[in-house]
């Protein structure tokens, strides 16, 4: 763990193993921290806050810029580590490292764009000045599916704003977090500004984060169920909260769309990170008149997707994170089949040969999906593409919005009017219009409803870590 500028063991002396989800290989051990360790980390961040918040925006920017340089220089090693620890194909890991580094570069610049305002007063002898200042100590909890970019997407704006941090990384991917912390240490981050507590059981750490009055903000990326618990606990302590949670993204193909182009986009997006992405499309709505062309193309593309170890040539789908993830995906497919769906591609676990020691599920297409099937209303988080046929374009927005989630949605159409109407009507925070990658460090990322609160990235990203202060000056 990293507390107050030093690499330390847990106070208990306990450690837990980290393994490769593709092979079961033991990669190393990390300290198994508890509430006491979290308390020490919060205390260090609390002590460091006055000094770090008093630095100039240019000084904070320089640290972030140096971290970006180091991250770029170490991109190959970071990508290889991610593939070993998280399992995604090396090409995807390489892309994520660059994406993660982009947040450091973006917020190195945003640090210098935190501005105040002079405000008018009705009194001639009064002036108002509004400024923005860092909220204080930030507690961050990050996920395993994007173990590097989800760190930098939080660390970049928090540090740029002048906050100090305590991080609890996912127990499945702590080695990636350690590597990012090593970069910040080498970039010259002062002692106590960033701290990391690793633990096999996240509950005591989360309880400490949400009950300590020294923590002024909680930021979390993960499941909706856990996010609700953390946000509820943080609310009792009046902590500021931003949470990026689950999704159940619709992928709408309109009758005027090119079904082949849309199917290629769906295949590329659905199997990204083995479907383990909160913005992954979970419901592919296709009009009956385009169903055959769309499905034929989708099946042909998915049949070519190779599952396996992320280091193997040509692999497009790696392992799922653990056995529970495989079981969830398997149960959804079994339920769909039992209720009349067809599975023309995949549909089961991969357990033979190279798959024997990992957590693999075959790239899968499910057709004939209906609303009574579990897969139609629960997030899958796996490599399964469910196709839902529809007749009336006027009703497809209603079908898409029929969920408590509101993170991402996708629309394929060649009509600009249809595109704008869908963009305005869909109740989701991110809409891809003929675009399967509507994300960037420069763009706000976040959802509505059960998909979260707040935004990360873009100009809005740093606002989550700033308080507004008003000064009234009598002359």
For every residue of 130-181, which 3-state class applies, written as one string? EEEEECCEEEEECCCCCCCHHHHHHHHHHHHHCCEEEEECCCCCHHHHHHHH
What pLDDT score does 38 carry? Answer: 98
Angle at alpha carbon of residue 439, lines to 430 and 280, rounded to 5°: 65
Which pTM does this prediction carry?
A: 0.96
Classified as helix, coil or strand, 256 is coil
Average pLDDT over residues 39-62: 98
Mean pLDDT of 261-282: 96
Q: In what order do the strands lie in the sheet with 249-253?
A: 342-345, 364-367, 384-390, 281-287, 249-253, 408-412, 430-433
The Cα 350–Cα 360 span in angstroms is: 5
Confidence category of residue 26, pLDDT binned at 50, 70, 90: very high
Homologous superfamily of the 249-440 domain (CATH): Aldehyde Dehydrogenase; Chain A, domain 2 (3.40.309.10)
Closest residue by Cα to residue 131 from 161, 108, 104:
161
Give the confidence band of 192 by pLDDT, cuts at 50, 70, 90.
very high
pLDDT band at 408 (very low <50, low <70, confident <90, very high): very high
Burial 297-312 (b: 16+ CB within 10 A, else e): bbbebbeebebbbbee
State what percent of residues in the chain have pLDDT above 70: 100
Q: Residue 89: its pLDDT value, please?
A: 97
Start-end ranges of CATH 3.40.309.10 in the chain?
249-440
Mean of the per-residue pLDDT values for the chain? 97
* pLDDT (0 to 100) of residue 84: 98
Q: What DSSP state is assigned to residue 82?
A: H
The CATH code for residues 2-245+451-474 is 3.40.605.10
What pLDDT does residue 118 have?
96
Known active-site residue 163: no
Evaluate whether 99 touches 158 at the Cβ level (below 8 Å): no
pLDDT tens, position by position, 182-191: 999 999 999 9
The catalytic position among 110, 278, 379, 464 is 278
pLDDT at position 39 is: 98
85, 244, 379, 456: which one is catalytic?
244
Question: pLDDT tens digit string along 420-469?
Answer: 999 999 999 999 999 999 999 999 999 999 999 999 999 999 999 999 99
**Contact of 219 with 139, CB cutoff 8 Å:** yes
Identify which of 162, 245, 240 has the alpha carbon closest to the alpha carbon of residue 464: 240
pLDDT > 90: percent of the chain: 100
Condensed to tens digits (0 to 9), the pLDDT of residues 97-130 reads 999 999 999 999 999 999 999 999 999 999 999 9
- pLDDT given at position 320: 97
| Residues forming CATH 3.40.605.10 domain(s) in the chain | 2-245+451-474
Name the token pair of 136: 């204080």
Contacts of 198 (CB under 8 A, 6+ apart): 1, 30, 31, 32, 33, 168, 169, 171, 174, 177, 178
CA distance 59 to 114: 14
Q: What are phi and psi of 354, to 5 degrees?
A: -65, -15
Separation between Cα atoms, residue 450 and residue 378, nearest integer Å? 12
Known catalytic residue: 244?
A: yes
Label residue 26 exposed, middle or buried (CB < 10 Å: 0-12, 13-18, 19+). Answer: exposed
State the sign of the Cα–Cα–Cα–Cα dihedral 213, 218, 222, 223.
positive
**Given this model, what pLDDT does residue 413 score?**
98
For position 381, what pLDDT does the model report?
Answer: 96
pLDDT in tens, 347-377: 999 999 999 999 999 999 999 999 999 999 9
Q: Is 256 left (phi over 0), alpha (psi -120 to 50) or beta?
A: alpha
The per-residue pLDDT for 238 is 94
pLDDT digits (tens, 9 = 90+) for 214-235: 999 999 999 999 999 999 999 9
Average pLDDT on 284-300 reads: 98
* Torsion of the alpha carbons at 33, 38, 41 and 46, rounded to the nearest 10: 180
Confidence at residue 103, expressed as pLDDT on a 0 to 100 scale: 98
Distance CA 332, CA 328 (A): 6
Are 263 and 294 in contact by the 8 Å Cβ rule? The answer is: yes
Number of continuous H segments (helices) and E segments (strands) in the chain: 14, 26
- The pLDDT assigned to 474 comes to 97
């Amino acid at each position: 763990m990293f507390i107050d500028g030093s690499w330390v063991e847990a106070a208990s002396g306990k450690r837990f193993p980290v393994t490769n989800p593709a092979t079961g290989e033991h990669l190393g051990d990390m300290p198994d921290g508890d509430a006491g360790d979290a308390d020490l980390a919060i205390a260090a961040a609390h002590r460091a806050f006055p000094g770090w918040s008093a630095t100039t925006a240019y000084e904070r920017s320089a640290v972030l810029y140096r971290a970006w340089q180091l991250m770029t220089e170490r991109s190959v090693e970071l990508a290889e580590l991610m593939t070993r620890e998280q399992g995604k194909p090396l090409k995807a890991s390489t892309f994520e490292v660059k994406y993660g580094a982009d947040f450091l570069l973006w917020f190195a610049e945003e640090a210098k764009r935190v501005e105040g305002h002079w405000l008018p007063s009705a009194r001639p002898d009064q002036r108002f000045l509004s400024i923005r200042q860092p909220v204080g100590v930030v507690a961050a909890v990050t996920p395993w599916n994007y173990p590097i970019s989800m760190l930098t997407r939080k660390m970049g704006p928090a540090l740029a704003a002048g906050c100090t941090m305590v991080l609890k990384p996912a127990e499945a991917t702590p080695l990636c977090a350690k590597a990012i912390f090593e970069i910040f240490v080498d970039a010259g981050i002062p002692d106590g500004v960033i701290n990391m507590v690793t633990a096999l059981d996240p509950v005591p750490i989360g309880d400490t984060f949400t009950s300590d009055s020294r923590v002024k903000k909680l930021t979390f990326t993960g499941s909706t169920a856990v996010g609700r618990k953390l946000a509820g606990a943080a609310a009792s302590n009046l902590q500021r909260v931003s949470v990026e949670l689950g999704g159940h993204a619709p992928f709408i193909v309109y009758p005027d769309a090119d079904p082949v182009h849309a199917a290629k986009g769906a295949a590329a997006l659905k199997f990204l990170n083995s479907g383990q992405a909160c913005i992954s499309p979970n419901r592919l709505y296709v009009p009956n008149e385009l169903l055959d062309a769309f499905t034929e193309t989708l099946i042909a593309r998915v049949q070519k997707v190779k599952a396996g170890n992320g280091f193997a040539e040509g692999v497009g789908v790696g392992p799922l994170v653990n056995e529970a993830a495989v079981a969830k995906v398997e149960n959804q497919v079994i339920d769909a089949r039992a209720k009349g769906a067809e599975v023309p591609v995949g549909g089961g676990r991969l357990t033979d040969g190279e798959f024997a020691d990992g957590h693999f599920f075959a790239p899968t297409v499910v057709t004939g999906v209906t609303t009574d099937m579990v897969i139609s209303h629960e997030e899958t988080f796996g490599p399964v593409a469910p196709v839902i046929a529809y007749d009336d374009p006027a009703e497809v927005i209603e079908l898409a919005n029929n969920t408590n989630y509101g993170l991402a949605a996708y629309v394929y159409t060649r009509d600009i009017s249809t595109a704008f109407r869908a963009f305005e009507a869909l109740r989701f925070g991110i809409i891809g219009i003929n675009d399967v990658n509507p994300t960037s460090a420069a763009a706000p990322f976040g959802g509505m409803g059960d998909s979260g609160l707040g935004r990360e990235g873009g100009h809005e990203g740093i606002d989550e870590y700033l308080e507004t202060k008003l000064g009234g000056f009598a002359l």
